[in-house]
Amino acid sequence: MRVLITGSNGQLGKEITEKMGKTMSIKAYGKDQLDITNELQVSKIVNHMKPDVIIHTAAYTSVDQCEFAQKQAFEVNSLGAFYVAKAAQNVGAKMVCISTDYVFSGDKNKPYVEGDIPNPKSVYGISKWMGEKLVQATLKECYIVRTSWLYGGGGNNFVKTMLKLAKQKREIKVVDDQVGSPTYTKDLAEVIIQLIGKSYGIYHVSNSGSCSWYEFAKHILKQAGFDANMIKSITTASYGAPAPRPAYSVMAHDALQRESIPLPRCWEEAVNDFLREELKDD
């Protein structure tokens, strides 16, 4: 199987490239090698390779910055996804498109299922939802994979930020009124690989269980051997981030269960695994 991966320099892109590269013929493109907002370049590269599957991880993921760079957010997250889907259709390739829990408003008080209608509050969420719709309208052979609170070995993320701040021994303020599911790129990549060949459609993929960002932060520090009391809980309103976030974005895994794909492990176990890797050389 020939696989083309976009966004290969990102956390998830790196993980998938490493995992799939062991057993499959892959071509992995970072932002410098493939500008997904350049339709001609996307078409040329895909036509040349003629992949069986395109795993589209490239995205504009700075949630707050999207509020100020709206044109870029839609060019990358909406049009870019459309160009990749169009190129996939031209060569008869399947596509896995990575999306987000931020397509939901967060007004629900029980886990979101795949059939729930998105109602994003932020520019980032709107741009990703538009990307989903454009991909589905262009290509029937697609998997929309919504994930949440992603962290992994490559790039910056919440876990690494907490460790960095803890080393500085300063008070850390973290919101306690946003609830979701932290997701380890290693576990997400494994599920994505298992998805290929299953029924097309929307899938929610995150580690099992849920927590607030505050609870997430406290767990990280405790497991890393720091004083968790340096974490102070605050409200979203007092934090004052430019982009609105869903207060509750936990996702159910109904589609994975229908396809008999094992659910990802609990988020605590995944974080502990990541921290062992991250701290082993410290």
pLDDT tens for each residue of 270-279: 999 999 998 8
Pick the catalytic residue from 124, 143, 151, 184: 124
Confidence of residue 243 (pLDDT cuts 50, 70, 90): very high
Q: Is residue 229 part of a domain?
A: no
Alpha helices in 62-122 (DSSP H): 63-68, 70-74, 81-91
Q: Is residue 272 part of a domain?
A: no
Give the chain's domain count: 1
What value does the mean pLDDT take over residues 57-68?
A: 97
Q: For the domain that residue 145 is a member of, what is the CATH number? A: 3.40.50.720
Rounded to whole angstroms, the Cα distance separating 9 from 40 reads 21
Active site residue 248: no
Please state whether the predicted TM-score (pTM) of the whole model is above 0.95: yes
75 SS3 class: helix
Q: Which residues have C-beta within 8 Å of that of residue 113, sequence separation ≥ 6?
A: 204, 251, 252, 254
Of the candidates 216, 226, 111, 206, the residue with the CA atom closest to the CA atom of residue 166: 226
Q: 137 is in which domain, residue-wise? A: 2-157+181-209+249-265
What value does the mean pLDDT take over residues 92-121?
A: 97
Q: Is residue 242 part of a domain?
A: no
Q: Is residue 241 part of a domain?
A: no
Q: Is residue 187 part of a domain?
A: yes
pLDDT tens-digit map of 154-190: 778 999 999 999 999 888 999 999 999 999 999 999 9
What value does the mean pLDDT take over residues 100-120?
A: 97
Confidence of residue 145 (pLDDT cuts 50, 70, 90): very high
Query: 30: which 2 tokens?
Result: 């970072």
Q: Is residue 254 part of a domain?
A: yes
Residue type at 263 in one-letter notation: L
Give the residues across from 233 on adjacent strands: 174
- In this predicted structure, the answer to whether residue 281 has a pLDDT above a threshold of 70 is no
Q: Is residue 227 part of a domain?
A: no
* Per-residue buried b or exposed e for 198-226, using 16+ beta carbons within 10 Å of the residue's own CB: eeeebbbbbbbebbbbbbbbbbbbebbeb
- In this predicted structure, the answer to whether residue 282 has a pLDDT above a threshold of 70 is no
The percent of residues in the chain predicted with pLDDT above 70, rounded, is 99
Of the candidates 214, 245, 265, the residue with the CA atom closest to the CA atom of residue 101: 245
Q: Is residue 270 part of a domain?
A: no
